[in-house]
Amino acid sequence: MIECINTYENILTRENKICHFTASNWIVNKERTKVLMIYHNIYKSWAWTGGHCDGDSNLLHVALKEAEEETGLKDLKVLSNGIFGIQILTVDSHIKRGKFVSSHLHLDCCFLLEADEYAVLKIKEDENSGVKWIDINKAVEITNESKMKPIYRKLNEKLEKF
């Protein structure tokens, strides 16, 4: 990530077609027994919430905004004092809103959040077609994205020590 920061311009925006920053969330309930996931329309898989920075250098702000947009939750509590997980993710080429998006890298910073599992959830129809709480031990197996399984496993292991 440091090499990308030192090498490329516009890494906070999608204008950089090689790599750009994203912010994601591992949203857990108060008991730490469930994680909130969305069914991502592009990846056709249950996934964490998150999105592009679009020029915002405050990654926590981006993470919170994306969590609210994708789940409808407003009362999110930040649990980690800083970034909870960091990873570089490959994104395969795809069509988004009728436009071709070439393969690229997401420089992702993940934050640990807590939410009320009984709060009303809402779907963001242009991005996801489901929002639900999942048993924390099933989060790895429910995703269809094989590259995300070790990341979700790592987040759960880190949560156990939190």
Residue 18's closest CA among 88, 96, 76, 105? Answer: 105
Confidence of residue 70 (pLDDT cuts 50, 70, 90): very high
Structure tokens at 138: 């099933």
CATH number 2.60.120.430 given to 2-161: no
| 12 conformational bin, left if phi > 0, alpha if psi -120 to 50, beta if neither | alpha
Mean residue pLDDT of the chain comes to 96
Residue percentage of the chain with pLDDT more than 70: 100
Angle among Cα 53, 153, 34 to the nearest 5 degrees reads: 80
Task: For 92-137, write each residue's pLDDT tens digit.
Answer: 998 888 999 899 999 999 999 999 999 999 999 999 999 999 999 9
Confidence of residue 58 (pLDDT cuts 50, 70, 90): very high
What is the DSSP secondary structure assignment for residue 79, as one 8-state letter?
A: -
Residues 32-56: b if buried by 16+ CB within 10 A, e if exposed: eebbbbbbbeebebbbbbbbbbeee
Domain ranges of the chain: 2-161
What pTM, to 2 d.p., does this model score? 0.94
Strands 77-78 and 85-91: unpaired
